[in-house]
Each structure stands twice: as structure tokens, then as C-alpha cells.
Amino acid sequence: MSALSYFRSPFPSTAGFSAYRMPGMAVHAPLILSFSVVGFFLCWPHEMLRPLLLVWVLGGVYLGRDITILCHYNPLLTLLSWAAFGIVVFAPHRIASFGASHVVLSGVLSVVVGAVLGLVAFGMTRDSD
């Protein structure tokens, strides 16, 4: 199976006994927003890093989906994801000032998010022969 098949369905079905059904969008939406806002604050001040904002949005959508499914099995992760969202919402100036003053670290963090996304995509689609 191709690693690109991991990106086929960003929002899984909520029908039946799907693990995405609860907590679902209550966790996924804040994670998408958190990843996107952090990526914006880290990458937007530096023109050469702006294309890496796409990595953060994709990370929010697809890694957020996987974290949301894990939250179904461990409710503590739900609280942690909401706490992370709260930090992003209530302290954006700290993230923005960090991003504006650290171009290399912003790039490294973006590459790390992209690498984690790629490794998860490869691991989830790998055949278990």
C-alpha cells in the first residue's frame, strides 16, 4: 500500500462504533487550529519559511486525526490537547516572538513536524507481512 493512501481521508466516518465518533471534532478542530496557528507564528515572519506553513496545516489535519482517535481510548489525551489549545489561544504573543526571533529553530521544528507526518504515514500504511 502506498504511503499516500494515509492522506485519503482526513475526517474519518463517525458511523457505528467508530473511534472518531467520540471525542471527534471536539479534539480534532482545536488541534487543527493549534497546529495552524503555531505554524503561522513560526513560519510567516520569515519569507523563506512560508511554504512550510503547509506542513503545519497538514500536520494538524492528519496527526490531529490520529491523536483524536487515540483520545477515544485515553481521555487524558483529550484534556492535554485542550490544554495545548489553551496555551496557543491565551499566549500567542510568546509563540509569535519566538518565531520572529528564531528563524533556524522555526525551520527545524517545521521539518520535524513534516518528518513525523511522513513517518506516521509510512508506518500506518506499511504492509505487515
* Grid cell digits, residue 105: 529553530
Tell me the domain boundaries of the chain.
Answer: 24-125
First to last CA, the chain: 12
pLDDT digits (tens, 9 = 90+) for 5-45: 888 877 776 666 677 777 888 999 999 999 999 999 999 99
Quick one: pLDDT at residue 11? 78
| Residue 90 clears pLDDT 90, i.e. is over it | yes
d(CA 47, CA 33): 21
Rounded to an integer, the average pLDDT of 70-92 is 94
- pTM for the structure as a whole: 0.87
> Following CA atoms 78, 79, 80, 84 in sequence, which dihedral angle do they give, to the nearest 10 degrees?
100
More confidently predicted of 128 and 110: 110
Quick one: pLDDT at residue 45? 94
Handedness of CA 19, 22, 24, 28 (dihedral sign): negative
The length of the chain is 129
